[in-house]
Amino acid sequence: MHTCMHSSDGACPSKIQSLLTCAAAGGDIAQQPAASEADIQRRIDAAVEEAQEESSESMNDLLVCLGQEEAKVGRCGGSILFGAKRLS
């Protein structure tokens, strides 16, 4: 019988892939060691940090787009006012 274990440093890039590989090899996935509370908290903290970084990048992208749109509106508004003055 195949017994699946994580690497010695506890790193596991893909828990699902590890479980699928274990099951495909005929192993008992129930024998996998349970994660400690500290390990779970570390994973949660890493996920939160990653989500915050992605959110920050997305917000910056939106602010850049907003600035570009405001510039377009300003140019269009200026063109309309300039055209109206020429007609009068």
Q: Are residues 29 and 45 in the same domain?
A: no
pLDDT the model gives residue 51 = 93
Q: How many domains, the chain?
A: 2
Q: Which domain holds residue 14?
A: 1-33
Letter string b/e over residues 24-40, b meaning 16 or more CB atoms within 10 A of that residue's CB: eeebeeeebeeeeeeee
Can you tell me the distance from the alpha carbon of 72 to that of 79, in angstroms, rounded to the nearest whole number?
Answer: 11
Q: Model confidence over 6-21: pLDDT tens digits?
A: 444 444 556 666 667 7
Residues 29 and 39 both lie in one domain: no
pLDDT digits (tens, 9 = 90+) for 29-74: 555 567 788 888 999 999 999 999 999 999 999 999 999 999 998 8
Query: 28 with 45, same domain?
Result: no
Confidence of residue 75 (pLDDT cuts 50, 70, 90): confident
